[in-house]
């Protein structure tokens, strides 16, 4: 086993954590600055944390524009980054100043949201309009603050391309989500040949068998 304490370094060519906790959904987050400037950036530290109410969140290493805008305005939009949108999604990860509109930078059309001011990515097949519930600065085990902020938001509107709904069920494969893997440049996709179906045991279970 290759064992190490993270505080002492991993002694590898690349930090393995991103490769181990993978693949991860991409938090392609759109926000508006206080002056109305549009911002769009991808975050691989993103996930769904609650069903009812639905709560999603992304973590920003450094207090970047997305976190700052979300905290200042109380809103953000998550846009599903599909494989077809891989190139423009990657463009929006460029380290540019807050005055740069990443929609324009990546050649993406914006669509108006319903309940929040931040726009959606028009070509994204799914979008969640969110209202911020908490912005938490992360700490280490000794309660020392680190340079990372977790932004949590309640999903108040869900937009789904109707072509992805089959008999009332969302077709994850058809959405073709782009998933972040490890290493400096690895992404992954889903394939039907890798599908595994398992039903949860019922209350009676098979524990005694």
The pLDDT value recorded for residue 183 is 77
Q: Is the pLDDT of residue 204 over 80?
A: no
CATH number at residue 74: 2.30.110.10
**If you average pLDDT over residues 74-98, what whole number do you get?**
96
- Gap between the Cα atoms of 175 and 126, Å rounded: 8
Q: Is 76 inside any structural domain?
A: yes
Please tell me the total count of domains within the chain.
Answer: 1
Please report whether residue 199 resides in a domain: no
pLDDT in tens, 131-161: 999 999 999 999 999 999 999 999 999 999 9
**Residue 134 placed within a domain:** yes
Query: What residue numbers bound the domain in which 48 lies?
Result: 13-188
Residue 209 counted as domain residue = no
* Per-residue buried b or exposed e for 155-169, using 16+ beta carbons within 10 Å of the residue's own CB: bbeebebeebeeeee
Across 7-16, 34-43, 108-117, 172-181, least confident range? 7-16
Q: What average pLDDT does range 80-89 have in this prediction?
A: 97
pLDDT tier at 203 (50, 70, 90 boundaries)? low
Does residue 121 sit within a domain?
A: yes
Cβ–Cβ under 8 Å, residues 127 and 155 = no
Q: 17 - beta bridge partners?
A: none
Predicted confidence at residue 209, as pLDDT, reads 43
Within a domain: 157: yes
Q: Please check whether residue 77 is in contact with residue 116, taking contact to mean a CB–CB distance below 8 angstroms.
A: yes
Q: Is residue 73 part of a domain?
A: yes
In a domain, 138, yes or no: yes
Confidence at residue 208, expressed as pLDDT on a 0 to 100 scale: 45
For the segment 20-58, what is each residue's pLDDT rounded down to a tens digit?
Answer: 888 999 999 999 999 999 999 999 999 999 999 999 999
| Residue percentage of the chain with pLDDT more than 70 | 97
| Per-residue pLDDT band at 15 (split at 50, 70, 90) | confident
The mean pLDDT of 7-17, rounded to a whole number, is: 89
């Amino acid at each position: 086993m290759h064992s190490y304490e993270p505080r002492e370094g991993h002694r590898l060519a690349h930090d393995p954590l991103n490769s181990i906790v993978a693949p991860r959904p991409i938090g392609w987050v759109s926000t508006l600055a206080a002056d109305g400037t549009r911002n769009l950036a991808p975050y691989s530290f993103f996930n769904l944390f609650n069903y009812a109410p639905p709560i999603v969140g992304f973590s920003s290493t450094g207090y970047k524009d997305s976190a700052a805008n979300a905290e200042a305005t109380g809103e953000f939009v998550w846009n599903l980054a599909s494989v077809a949108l891989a190139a423009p999604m990657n463009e929006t990860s460029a380290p540019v100043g807050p005055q740069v509109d990443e929609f324009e930078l990546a050649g993406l059309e914006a669509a108006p949201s319903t309940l929040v001011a931040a726009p959606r990515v028009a070509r994204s097949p799914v979008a969640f309009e969110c209202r911020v519930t908490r912005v938490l600065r992360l700490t280490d085990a000794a309660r020392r603050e680190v340079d990372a902020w977790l932004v949590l938001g309640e999903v108040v509107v869900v937009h789904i391309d109707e072509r992805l709904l089959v008999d009332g069920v969302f077709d994850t494969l058809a959405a073709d989500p782009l998933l972040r893997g490890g290493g400096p440049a690895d992404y992954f996709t889903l394939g039907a040949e890798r599908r595994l179906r398992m039903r949860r045991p019922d209350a009676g279970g098979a524990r005694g068998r």
